[in-house]
Amino acid sequence: MDLLDLEFHFIEPVGNERDRADQESIFDYVEALAFEKAKSIVGKVPANSYVFGSDTIVLFDGQVLGKPQNKLDAVRTLRNLASTRHSVITSICGYDIANNIIVKDFVETEVYMRDFDEIEIKTYVESGDAMDKAGSYAIQNELFHPVEAIKGCYFSVVGLPVCNLLKILTQLNLKSIIDVDRNQLNFEMCTKCVMLCSAGKS
């Protein structure tokens, strides 16, 4: 959010994340979760507010991996993910409350995990960083460094794809500018990032 130079406030969404419904596609599911988060705080903000909700899921071997239920669950998940590939899907929902306008988008990124061992897994889980993360890991953790490579958007795996957020802001007629030159190293972590296709500002 700081990359967009926006003033913002974080508000904890109300309610628990629901399970995926029968016949509901993965993409519809993650978009619905983002919308439900945004909608859940409408009564807590002024009526002319713009609310943004985001949700991330990990799709591995056809199964959705959410946040771990406990440390044992986190260890088990990381054992399964080591030296494998999975998808991270992140959705953003922008909600213009006053005009009842809803804009949604999602990004899918392929993630290739490195071969970490049992000691590394347990040390990381004991740090507590795994416990509130979909798939039980944070790509940006410099000590564990779980990811070997990605194909797609780095910020999507972190949990908030900046380029897509910028697109949603534009659709809601909220102007924002990213200084691409100043933040080039951030966008170079993505593969084929659209922000680096044009020089200067975007």
What is the rounded (10 degree) CA torsion for 189, 190, 194, 196? 20
**Residue 83: left (phi > 0), alpha (psi -120 to 50), or beta?**
left
C-alpha–C-alpha distance, residues 103 and 114, integer Å:
35
> In sequence order, what are the residues at sequence separation of 6 or more whose Cβ sits closer than 8 angstroms to the Cβ of residue 171?
94, 103
Rounded to 5 degrees, what angle do the CA atoms 111, 24, 193 make?
Answer: 30
Which of these is catalytic: 55, 61, 96, 115?
55
55 counts as catalytic = yes
H or E stretch including 68?
none
Number of CB atoms found within 10 A of residue 105's CB: 18
Which residues are designated catalytic?
55
